[in-house]
Structure 1
Amino acid sequence: MNLTNIKVLVVEDDADINRLLCHILAAEGLTAVPAFSGSEAELRLSLEAYQLVLLDLMLPGVAGEALIARIREQSTVPIIVISAKSTLEDKVSLLRLGADDYITKPFDQEEVMARVHAQLRRLQYAPVQENGGETAELRGLFMDKGRREITLNNEPLALTKYEFEILALLLSRPDHIFSKSELYRKIWQGTYLGDDNTINVHISNLRAKFAAVTEEEYIRTVWGIGFKLV
């Protein structure tokens, strides 16, 4: 993978951990930019584009959870949370909020880089192509794949990268029932092992965002098979 011009924002208030993460990233050829508070991270994100964010939760200024929500209001940049919080509830909550991955402290350096590379690969091979002329529409749901914008009944929806890609895939074949295995293979570029809750979390998140605008059903679960648009 060509890592030229890949910039990673490292948001961690512990100077030693921030320095270590930046060193790990730089050793792999990535440009690592440190931020030591949620407020500083928000400022840096407003000034330039990043391809990935590594994020602690316990931050001065703006807490990590609030920062994730603010980022997702305007960006689909991948976010990897690195935190001492380790319960399943914490992880599920952060995925619902918009994080793309989660690493528990204390972390292994090789695991950090493996997950960083995984996110960058998914970003590079995202199934939605940057084609400004490609759009899709279904019952008031309108997607501009090139601009990566979506509206429902003329109301803009703020979707995470993976929520957008799942919806784009469903819209590409509205009559097709996509199995979890098929969704995982096409979007996460891996083999679905059958015990991963990732897809359910993102589907649930999409439904919640639709429900905030309309009572109409858009994504139906076909029990024992998968998901389809209706």
Structure 2
Amino acid sequence: MSTTVLVVDDEAKLRDYLERDGYTVLEASDGRTALDVATSSRPDLVVLDLGLPGLPGEEVARLLRRNSDVPIVMLTAKASENDRVMGLKLGADDYVVKPFSPRELVARVEAVLRRSRGPRTETTASASYGAGRLRIDTERREVHTGDRPVDLTRSEFDLLAALASRPGRVWSRTELVGRVQGHTFDAYERTIDVHVKNLRHKLGDSPPSEVIVTVPGVGYKLGVERDPDRPA
């Protein structure tokens, strides 16, 4: 079955390159049309330009995230860290800064789709950590702190699952980019810090953090041990 990508942009080359790689491509030139097409056609991934006429791309992403877990690759000319932080908070799975090559975008799309089709983790299907304080179910992609469910984006879940695959093991930002983004393109290590900040907030892991621990000059580790005999 062909993979369908909705391109919300006016760049014809993007469609050509995606179709050349075997994707079925749907197009929308404005935000309202994009929401209608996404609702009716349920694409496998959305490539979303933030510089849209009418309804801003940021609002399109926000509305998509209300009812859908569809992967989103954002396109923008805004390269500041604050802009990337905002894109990730809106639920973007990747954030591509213009100018970029169409070949790079296709590689990003492939990487995001790989991640969306299965967790890149060695954890068992369900496991408990820190005397039951944290529970991760990789098959259902669910996380609980105590009895409270935690709503995570796909990238946040993949990051937590990577850390939990080997509790106590220190992961560099470069390694985590590969696990979360599916690639190691330059300038994306800072996105890991954004995901960690969001994760800590959602897990209630207030400073000094005990669940996701910063290792200065290196990266991060899961600071709670897995419970070997405790049912998840």
Q: Hey, what does 1:144 align to over in structure 2?
A: 137
How far has the Cα of 1:34 moved from its partner?
1.7
Conserved 8 A contact 1:84-1:106: yes
Q: Hey, what does 1:202 align to over in structure 2?
A: 195
Summarize the Cα distance change of 1:206–1:78 in structure 2 as closer, same or farther, 3 Å threshold: same
Of 156, 159, 162, which aligns to 1:163?
156
How far has the Cα of 1:221 moved from its partner?
0.9
Q: Hey, what does 2:120 align to over in structure 1?
A: 127
Conserved 8 A contact 1:57-1:63: yes
SS of residue matched to 2:109: helix
Summarize the Cα distance change of 1:69–1:174 in structure 2 as closer, same or farther, 3 Å threshold: farther
Structure 2 spans left out of the alignment, 5+ residues: 224-232
Summarize the Cα distance change of 1:126–1:148 in structure 2 as closer, same or farther, 3 Å threshold: closer
- Which one-letter code corresponds to 1:8 in the other structure? V
SS of residue matched to 1:34: strand
Kindly provide the CA deviation profile for residues 77-121 of structure 1, in whole angstroms up to 9, marking residues without a partner as x: 332112233434323331343223333445533333233233334
- Which one-letter code corresponds to 2:28 in the other structure? A
2: CA distance, partners of 1:78 / 1:64: 15
2: CA distance, partners of 1:62 / 1:137: 43
- Bigger mean CA deviation after superposition, 47-56 or 113-122: 113-122
Summarize the Cα distance change of 1:193–1:33 in structure 2 as closer, same or farther, 3 Å threshold: closer
- Superposition pairs for residues 17-166 of structure 1, below 5 Å? 17=10, 19-59=12-52, 62-73=55-66, 75-105=68-98, 107-123=100-116, 126-128=119-121, 134-138=125-129, 139-166=132-159
Conserved 8 A contact 2:49-2:74: yes
- Which one-letter code corresponds to 1:7 in the other structure? T
Give TM-score scaled by structure 1 length.
Answer: 0.74
Summarize the Cα distance change of 1:19–1:193 in structure 2 as closer, same or farther, 3 Å threshold: closer
Alignment length (residue pairs): 219
Kindly provide the CA deviation profile for residues 30-76 of structure 1, in whole angstroms up to 9, marking residues without a partner as x: 01112343333334434454332100123456432233234445554
SS of residue matched to 1:146: coil
- Which one-letter code corresponds to 1:34 in the other structure? E
- Which one-letter code corresponds to 2:160 in the other structure? L
Matched, 1:10 2:1: no
- Which one-letter code corresponds to 2:92 in the other structure? A
Between the two structures, name the one with larger relative contact order (CA 8 Å, sep ≥ 6): 2
SS of residue matched to 1:197: helix
How far has the Cα of 1:188 moved from its partner?
4.3
How far has the Cα of 1:165 moved from its partner?
0.9
Structure 1 spans left out of the alignment, 5+ residues: none
2: CA distance, partners of 1:168 / 1:162: 10
Give TM-score scaled by structure 2 length.
Answer: 0.74
2: CA distance, partners of 1:48 / 1:140: 40
Conserved 8 A contact 2:3-2:44: yes
Q: Hey, what does 2:230 align to over in structure 1?
A: none
